[in-house]
Amino acid sequence: MEFEGCSCFRQRLVLSTLSGKRVKIRNIRSKDDNPGLRDFEASFIRLLDKVTNGTRIEINQTGTVLFYQPGLLYGGSVEHECNVQRSVGYYLEALLMLAPFMKTPLRAVLKGVTNDPTDPSVDLLKVTAIPLMKKFGIDGDGLEIKVLKRGMAPEGGGEVLFTCPVRRSVKPVQLTETGKIKRIRGTAFSVRVSPQMANRIVDSARSVLNKFIPDIYIYTDHMKGASSGKSPGFGLTLVAETVNGTFLGAEVVSTPQGQGDPVLPEDLGRNCAKLLLEEIYRGGCVDSTNQSLALLYMTLGQQDVSKTLLGPLSPYTIEFLRHIRDFFQMMFKIEQQKPGEDEQKGGEKVLMTCVGAGYSNISKTIK
């Protein structure tokens, strides 16, 4: 399969790895002043090479053409130095998609930036993606994301441990009921700044959310010494849990040192709370960052009907759906659900329905 440009770079490589189809990407920033693959993309390719066996990667001299022939997903113990241009979340999102289909359970230690403003942070994925994976039958002791060290944006220095068990197949799901939000949890963290920052964040975030629900608890997490990374910063991750076990998350991080105006912790807390409200407004059984993950697992499920209620599709998800069609010849039935007249449950929802591709983990050994 051939593609142009480096948008959706991860999607293409991940789907290629899962479907076994080789991929050629041309014209990667060919018109750019600095053509070719960026360091973080190269680092991503290296990570893929580490978790697979027999992958063939060819990059031309300028880095504008990439040929990727996927091998088999191997897993095992992997340690990867992620590029600091993107946060660990960038790499972790791809690993979440691949991890259940490995030969041996994955235990990946990713080092780099744990929180930055562009990508979903490790904390957010921990509180939203992991419960989502559990719904697809990927659970057990092994499934865990752990922040060993926290590293903020420009310099990094964080360390994240991700472990995931392997599965032969993924269960079909019927996630059509969001349920009502019963509690809000969160983590306010601060590294290499005053620990008071976290408390200030918590107070401001609570002030917004208290109007809706009293059951709010925001942990403060101040890391010191070796586990505090190389750059200062602070941030907040909020997650709303519904009675049906849906987790909707939002997060805001302080602007990295030396990039743009600094933010006040109070503003940050309020913004984050508002983002969470926005996420709740969008609604659905899967939050907006994990839409593609949920859709991928639905695609790779057994040959049964899966349904998921999502909020409005993000542009990333729309691209992902197209790529799923290209790689797996799978189309989703997309039905829009308008909110009722007197209901006050946020915006439009989208009900995604598909028949799984009957994918089975071909890497796993049988004895």
Partner 1 sequence: MEKKEQKRHQHKHSGPKAQKKNRKREQGQEQDERKRNPRAFSVQSAVRMAKTFHRTQDIKTKKHHIPLVDRTPLEPPPVVIVVMGPPKVGKSTLIRCLIKNYTRQKLSDICGPVTIVSGKKRRLTLIECNNDINSMIDLAKVADLVLMLIDASFGFEMETFEFLNICQVHGFPRVMGVLTHLDTFKNNKTLRKTKKRLKHRFWTEVYQGAKLFYLSGMVYGEYQTQEVKNLGRFISVMKFRPLVWRTSHSYVVADRMEDLTDPEAIRLNPKCDRTVSLYGYLRGTFLKNKCQVHIPGVGDFSVADVSFLPDPCPLPEVIKKRALNVKERLLYAPMAGVGGLVYDKDAVYIDMPSGHASRQQEEVRPTTELVHSLIGTQATLDAKMAASKVSLFTGAAALTPEEVQENEKQNPMEIREWDEKAQRERRRAVFADEDDDEEESDDEEEEEEEEDEEEEDEEGLTTLKKEDEKAAPPVKKQKFEERVEMPAFADSDDELEKSEDDESEEEEDEGDEENEEMEEGEPVKRSSGPDSGLCSEEDDEDEEEDSDMDEDGDGIVKSKMSSKPPEEENLDTEDAEMGYETAGALRWKEDLAQKASEAYLRHQLATPNLRKLVYGTVAEKEEEDSNDEEELGGLFKVSRPEKSKKVRADAMDCSRFHPDSSHDWDQEEMLASIRDCFVTGKWEEDKDAATLLKEDDELYGDFEDLETGEVHKAKTKAEGENDDEINGDDDDDDEEEEAPQVKLDDDEVQKNKRLEKKRRLKERFDAQYDDGDATYFDDLKEEMQKQAELNRQEFEDVDDEVRVQYEGFRPGMYVRVEIPALPCEFVTNFDPHYPVILGGLGPSEGNVGYLQMRLKKHRWHSRILKTRDPLILSLGWRRFQTIPLYYIEDHNGRHRLLKYTPEHMHCGATIWGPITPQGTGFLAVQTVGGIKANFRIAATGVVLDLDKSVTIVKKLKLIGYPYKIFKNTCFIQGMFNTVLEVAKFEGASIRTVSGIKGQIKKALRTPPGAFRATFEDRLLMSDIAFLRSWYPVSVPQLYNPVTSLLMPVGQKDTWAGMRTLGQLKHDLDIRNKPNQDSLYKPVVRQIRHFNTLHIPKELQKALPFKNKPKQMQAKGKTPRDLQRPAVVREPHEKKVAALLDALSSVYAYKNKKAKAEQHAKHKEFLKQKDKQDAERQKRLKEERKKTFRAMGQKEKKKLKSSLKGASKDN
Looking only at residues 201 through 260 of this chain, which bind partner 1 when binding is defined by CB under 8 A? Answer: 208, 211-214, 243
The DSSP secondary-structure symbol of 196 reads: H
The whole-angstrom separation of Cα 208 and Cα 264 is 16
Site size for partner 1, by CB under 8 A? 97
Maximum distance among all alpha carbons in the chain? Answer: 61
Residue 61 or 365: the one with the smaller Cβ distance to partner 1 is 365
- Span of 151-159, 224-232, 256-264, 284-292 interacting with partner 1 by CB under 8 A: 284-292
Work out which of 47, 277, 286, 298 binds partner 1, going by CB under 8 A.
Answer: 277
Residue corresponding to tokens 């403003």:
117
Query: In the set 23, 201, 205, 280, which binds partner 1 (CB under 8 A)?
Result: 280
CB of 80 to partner 1, least distance (A): 18
β-strands 158-164, 72-73: how paired?
unpaired
Nearest distance from C-beta of residue 284 to partner 1, angstroms? 11
Q: Work out whether 264 is an interface residue with partner 1 (CB under 8 A).
A: no
Q: Least distance in Å: CB of 265 to partner 1?
A: 18
Q: Candidates 152-160, 192-200, 223-231, 307-315: pick the segment binding partner 1 (CB under 8 A).
A: 307-315
Q: Does 292 bind partner 1 (CB under 8 A)?
A: yes
Distance of alpha carbon 152 from alpha carbon 232, whole angstroms: 6
Minimum separation from the CB atom of position 344 to partner 1 (A): 4
Q: How far is the CB of 68 from partner 1 (least distance, A)?
A: 13
By CB under 8 A, the residues from 309 to 348 that bind partner 1 are 312-319, 321-322, 325, 327-336, 343-346, 348
Nearer to partner 1, 193 or 330 (CB): 330
Pick from 114, 181, 187, 192: which binds partner 1 (CB under 8 A)? 181
65 makes contact with partner 1 (CB under 8 A): no
Round to whole Å and give the CA distance between 247 and 278.
14
Contact set for partner 1, span 78-97 (CB under 8 A): 90, 93
Residues 184-203 that bind partner 1 (CB under 8 A): none
Nearest to 104 by CA among 76, 143, 80: 76
Under 8 Å between Cβ of 170 and 125: no
SS3 142: coil
Strands 349-355 and 333-337: antiparallel
Closer Cβ to partner 1, 262 or 358, answer by number? 358
The interface with partner 1 within residues 115-154 (CB under 8 A) comprises: 118-120
Instruction: Indicate the SS3 state at residue 88.
Output: helix
CA torsion angle 335 336 342 345 (round to 10): 100
| Residue numbers 20-59 binding partner 1 by CB under 8 A | 20-21, 27-29, 31-32, 53-54
Phi, psi at residue 293, to the nearest 5°? -60, -45
Please tell me the distance from the alpha carbon of residue 278 to that of residue 183, in angstroms, as a whole number.
Answer: 16
**Smaller CB separation from partner 1, 220 or 291:** 291
> Nearest distance from residue 290's CB to partner 1, in Å?
8
> Angle formed by the axes of helices 291-299 and 315-328, to 10°?
20
Residues in the chain: 367
Among 83, 114, 178, 220, binds partner 1 (CB under 8 A): 178
Based on CB atoms, which residue is closest to partner 1, 142 or 312?
Answer: 312
The single-letter DSSP state of residue 40 is H
